[in-house]
């Protein structure tokens, strides 16, 4: 009976090594994806801040152009 148990244990050992190896690969992949996710979230935050800044600059430029148009129309009416 011991020889049968030994055979089962020997057969089981490579399966455990394979499972352990695959588990480590999954852990490494999860860590890499987590780091990538963090990096992408930081990049997204930077891009959102840049977009907000550009929208504000665009609005300021639009207001200035509208103001210039109003002044030019006034100058034209007064001449």
* 3 state DSSP class of 11: helix
Query: Which tokens hold the place of 19?
Result: 């499972």
Q: Reply yes or no on whether the pLDDT at 35 is more than 60.
A: yes
pLDDT at 70 over 90: yes
Residue holding tokens 């148009």? 69
pLDDT of residue 4: 57
């Amino acid at each position: 009976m011991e020889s049968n148990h030994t055979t089962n244990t020997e057969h089981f050992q490579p399966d455990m090594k394979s499972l352990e190896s695959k588990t480590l690969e999954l852990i490494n992949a999860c860590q890499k994806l987590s780091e990538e996710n963090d990096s992408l979230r930081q990049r997204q935050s930077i891009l959102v801040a840049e977009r907000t800044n550009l929208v504000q600059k665009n609005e300021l430029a639009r207001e200035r152009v509208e103001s210039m148009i109003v002044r030019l129309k006034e100058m034209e009416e007064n001449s």
